[in-house]
Structure 1
Amino acid sequence: MESTKHGAAAGDAKPPVSGNWTIDQEWESYSAEEHAVWKTLYERQSKLLPGRACDEFVQGMRDLAMDGDRIPDFRRLSEVLEKRTGWSVVAVPGLVPDEVFFDHLANRRFPAGQFIRRPDQLDYLEEPDVFHDVFGHVPMLVHPVFADYMEAYGKGGLRARSLGVLAHLARVYWYTVEFGLIGSGDGLRIYGSGIASSYTETIFALEDPSPNRIRFDLERVMRTLYRIDDFQETYFVIESFDELLALAEIDFGPIYRRVAALPELEPGTIDPGDGLLHRGTGIYHAGRRRVA
């Protein structure tokens, strides 16, 4: 169920020529079919996300001015990002080692897979492709507070790896950057890339009665296992992006020690101390388990 994947991290492929695993995007080499897959994915998500994605994500999309007809050129995206928040997008061949992933984030480089899924993989792909990485992640990097959080996470990841507690920090990334929700005056909104880039999970995360929706609590999140093979059973909700950035001011050392002494929680568990916003019915995953 769970692995220590951090977006593009945890790969076992042989390293490319460059020491930091970056490669040329080779934008000119994309085929018409590959651009068509991007267009299909882009158009359906662009229609679905207004009123569901947070304002910061939608604004990031506008600021980046992505072309819906073709896969973006990372050089053009980086020009916009560097002016706004000092970030850039670098191409990698797929999943990369943890230390490489964290080093990129710590230096405000976002490693993005440069391949795109096949037409028969529109709704599910375990390994992040260019649509997940660019459409799902990059708009939030335009937002200064979120951009600072991502840099801090990279630095924290390097430390967690040295302490042997990476699994706990991986869950923070998973339940924020990948599958995070944020409260707004109009209800819950999406900011996590794994939701924002998925047609089916966009609906499930916000509107399905099955999953739990719980107020974000750092130690609770660090104890909670997650799913890499299906929709999440629990989504954690922040009140503002400043709440994430405040994590950069915390000494995680004592927290790691406390969490290590506590039992891990299954993805769908309700804990007595939870700030429960919605108690899920669990029907979706219960049905899946019966079929399995």
Structure 2
Amino acid sequence: MTDETHVLDCPPEGASPDWTIPQDWSHYTPGEHAVWDTLFDRQAKLLPGRASEAYLRGLDVLKLSKPGIPDFEELSERLMGLTGWQVVAVPGLVPDDVFFDHMANRRFVAGNFIRRPDQLDYLQEPDVFHDVFGHVPMLADPVFADYLEAYGRGGQRALELGALKHLARLYWYTVEFGLIAQPEGLRIYGSGIVSSFAESRFALDDPSPNRIAFDLKRVMRTDYRIDDFQQNYFVIQSFDDLLRLTVETDFAPLYAEIMAQPDVPVAEILPGDVVLTHGTQDYARGKAAR
């Protein structure tokens, strides 16, 4: 790799052509396992009554409560038996086409490093805790597992159509920061929320953000923030609805329509929105502390 070569132009040294690497579980230190246990214990106490039934069920059936960073081989064996997915280690961010190919073939890519003890509350690049604790329990749900596979295939097509920006917003507002309406009330299922101690509370309890009924076109027009709490959360009624909408929609004309329209700024409410909670936006204006 030369200095002029982009970091994602080719796999780094030691990685396979598909960018996977050995997890090398035996090389985790006791301190690294302790970081996982600290993060796990904190979230496990917080999430009952906040996380979706599907997420909590996955957390239990995959036996993620076992102390220490999970071994991807053991985890994949359980997951394969449930939904046919497996977890593969990668050195960090991977190119979009590689990401979508893995997903379309039911392989979930996960970083094999874990944050430092002084980074418990925020880390810019996803680590093994975000990827495994945040994402993998939902892969034990058959419907959501089908949704992610369909998303992977859709991503491959979006690359061909030059529409990745719009499809990425669907991932962001569902897989990463999605809410679901359950009979008991709103629950979180997005990995960016369930793996965050602060946002697990903010997404459901804080009066600042808008909580809006999910609409595919609306979501794919909406900007998002990557370094702070969200100010719009979109609420699905069921994973079956989400899967059906994804599979039955012809995205090509939808992309054409969306590309001809302006992006919707973060925190904005549109006239056609079904608003479940009209946020105060105090946090967005800097009146609430993170």
Give TM class, smaller chain.
over 0.9
Once the two structures are TM-superposed, the CA of residue 175 in structure 1 deviates from its matched residue by: 0.1
Equivalent residue, structure 2, for 1:167: 165
- 2:84 equivalent among 78, 83, 86: 86
CA distance in 1 between counterparts of 2:123 and 2:248 reads 35
Q: Which residue of 1 aligns with 2:23?
A: 25
Farther-moved stretch of structure 1 (117-126 vs 65-74): 65-74
Q: List alignment gaps of at least 5 residues for structure 2.
A: 1-5
Runs of 4+ in 1 over 4 A off after TM superposition: none
Partner SS state of residue 221, structure 1: helix
Given candidates 204, 222, 225, the residue that maps to 2:223 is 225
Alignment partners' CA distance in 2, 1:254 and 1:262? 13
C-alpha contact 2:59 2:65 (8 A) present in aligned 1: no
> What is the CA distance between 1:67 and its match in structure 2?
3.7
TM-score (norm 1): 0.94
Query: Is the CA contact 1:38–1:68 (under 8 Å) kept in the aligned structure 2?
Result: no
Structure 1 residue aligned with 2:174, among 159, 163, 176?
Answer: 176
**Is 1:270–2:269 an aligned residue pair?**
yes
CA contact (8 A) 2:110 2:132 kept: yes
Q: Quick check: 2:35–2:116 contact (8 Å CA) kept in 1?
A: yes
Paired with 2:166 and 2:93, the residues of 1 have a C-alpha distance of 20
Q: Does 1:15 align with 2:11?
A: yes
Secondary structure at the counterpart of residue 189 of structure 1: strand
Matches of 2:7 and 2:183 in 1, distance apart? 40
1:240-259 aligned at under 5 Å gives the runs 240-246=238-244, 247-259=246-258
Alignment length (residue pairs)? 281
Between the aligned partners of 2:231 and 2:238, the Cα distance in structure 1 is 22
Aligned residues: CA RMSD:
1.5
Query: Relative contact order (C-alpha < 8 Å, sep 6+): which is higher?
Result: 1
Residue in structure 1 matched with residue 279 of structure 2 by the alignment: 280
The CA distance in 2 between the partners of 1:280 and 1:67, in whole Å, is 35
Distance 2:95 2:62 in 1: 28
Look up the SS of the partner of 1:285 in the other structure.
Answer: coil
Q: Which amino acid aligns with 1:12?
A: L
1:277 is matched by which residue type in structure 2?
L
**1:91 partner letter:** A
Q: 2:47 aligns with which of 34, 39, 49?
A: 49
Residues 95, 11 of structure 1: CA spacing in aligned structure 2 closer, same or farther, 3 A cutoff? farther
CA contact (8 A) 1:234 1:268 kept: yes
User: Deviation of residue 12 (structure 1)?
Assistant: 3.2
Offset, 1:69: 2.1
Deviation at 1:285, TM superposition (A): 1.4
Q: Distance in 1 between matches of 2:7 and 2:264?
A: 26
Indicate conservation of the 8 Å contact 1:43/1:68, yes or no. Answer: no
